[in-house]
Structure 1
């Protein structure tokens, strides 16, 4: 049992919790809780090690028992709780390899999340993208790290089923070749329901405070907006993204 706060595994967990730079250097990230680890196992994601407390619930114990040939080590429950990022510890966390799901060769539905800095919004958008059948999500510079603990929790397992690519704008331009790029803004050229999303498309959702960058505006062929007859000026990025992504789904389902 691990009882020392200076244990190397615990030091790595603390570093991965707070620093995107460490996650990049170590090529690893942290998941906490039974649900997220279940999703990782279901996706056969590479697991470096698991840390658990002796107060695991039945579901957590079943998960732990299912992990064959995985380095799993018990930690003093108070110590494990102290290094966790959640208010209520579920008694289990794991360090995973930061491997990447392969990008599709000929995508026809990409989502670009530009300057999304709120972890909850980014995680929710990734979860929505996975639900809407997006082929891949591309994250330009200035978007928050998709593998931070808060983004992972909000994503609810989307990371294990959805290709997520961090790229600069030159790389993004190459990736969207052959796709029509639509930019979501408050005062777009047309309402989002009037856009033709049936053909191969990429949709850009801009950040909460500053909106989309100039790079995104130059890349887009047209801009779209969500009509809002009420008194509010805007929706947050996660809600706006969900509305537009499922309009893409609706249009494509009509094609049969």
Structure 2
């Protein structure tokens, strides 16, 4: 395992860019998975990473040592050994956004989603969703509900940022996530109903027929689904609630919708 002790090391500077810059992550096509759970989930579903980074104080931790043993014997997709880097705790914590966690992270290639010619399976479309926590929660709920596809508009938060991945808790690796998706095209070519959530409709999710594949369309936290996309949707639905509360958080709304679909399908 290679040890890096200087902040001026070129590789460390590159890692710091990945940790702090969304632009650097998008440009390089790589991202960081921070913490034991995400690293184990990635290994289970997608295999070996490009690089494993460990804090000096965590090298002997039983969960970390198990992952390091896998890295020592595994081959990555490029048929090269997984590079393992040990950092002093101070340098590691400058990369990590996890407080009081076990010090391990992976550097991985950002998975590229596939856009089907025609949508025939349940999916989620996200129009200009801004908050990383909301996005990660929606991904986690979608994966738990058995929904396999998520399409993010160009204005939506980067799905593979560290904050979104922490909120997703490994859901990313069970989903086909497409960035910069053309939602207009996808809706126009969907072979199943597209349901947009709206507070300005009378049909509730409990009245909608959900025991079948559908596409869920959610919008910006404050503005909702854009009018041009709303016009393309098959129908709009709402979640009944007390009038004193203006609206539900979009991640909470998504979870309610997904699991009403699960309930109707049981």
TM-score normalised by structure 1 residue count: 0.91
Aligned to 2:8: 6
Q: Secondary structure at the match of 1:60?
A: helix
Aligned to 2:91: 79
Residue 185 (structure 1) shift = 1.1
Q: Does 1:94 align with 2:106?
A: yes
Task: Classify 1:141/1:102 alpha carbon distance in 2 versus 1 (closer, same or farther; 3 Å).
Answer: closer
Write out per-residue CA displacement over residues 46-91 of structure 1, whole angstroms, 9 at most, x where no aligned residue: 5111111232122122222222331111111221112212233421
User: Residues of 2 paired with 1:236 and 1:106: CA distance?
Assistant: 27
User: Residues of 2 paired with 1:122 and 1:229: CA distance?
Assistant: 25
Q: Is the 8 A contact 2:119 2:192 kept in 1?
A: no
User: Residues of 2 paired with 1:122 and 1:76: CA distance?
Assistant: 32
Aligned to 2:183: 169
Aligned to 2:259: 246
Residue 103 (structure 1) shift = 5.3
Match of residue 130, structure 2, among 114, 117, 134: 117
Q: Is the 8 A contact 2:119 2:191 kept in 1?
A: no
User: Residues of 2 paired with 1:225 and 1:23: CA distance?
Assistant: 36
TM-score normalised by structure 2 residue count: 0.88
Task: Classify 1:171/1:29 alpha carbon distance in 2 versus 1 (closer, same or farther; 3 Å).
Answer: farther
Match of residue 53, structure 1, among 27, 44, 55: 55
Q: Secondary structure at the match of 2:221?
A: coil
Q: What are the residue-to-residue correspondences of 1:218-233 with 2, within 5 Å?
A: 218-229=231-242, 231-233=244-246
User: Residues of 1 paired with 2:15 and 2:100: CA distance?
Assistant: 17
Write out per-residue CA displacement over residues 192-225 of structure 1, whole angstroms, 9 at most, x where no aligned residue: 1111122331111122111111232122111100
Q: What are the residue-to-residue correspondences of 1:183-202 with 2, within 5 Å?
A: 183-202=196-215
Task: Classify 1:103/1:144 alpha carbon distance in 2 versus 1 (closer, same or farther; 3 Å).
Answer: same
Q: Secondary structure at the match of 1:50?
A: strand
User: Residues of 1 paired with 2:196 and 2:133: CA distance?
Assistant: 21
Q: Secondary structure at the match of 1:231?
A: coil
Structure 2 residue runs without a partner (length 5+): 74-80
Aligned to 1:209: 222
User: Residues of 1 paired with 2:123 and 2:248: CA distance?
Assistant: 21
- Paired residues in the alignment total 252
Q: Secondary structure at the match of 1:192?
A: coil
User: Residues of 1 paired with 2:224 and 2:243: CA distance?
Assistant: 21
Q: Is the 8 A contact 1:45 1:160 kept in 2?
A: no
Task: Classify 1:230/1:106 alpha carbon distance in 2 versus 1 (closer, same or farther; 3 Å).
Answer: closer
User: Residues of 1 paired with 2:84 and 2:128: CA distance?
Assistant: 37
CA RMSD of aligned residues (A): 1.9
Task: Classify 1:172/1:7 alpha carbon distance in 2 versus 1 (closer, same or farther; 3 Å).
Answer: farther
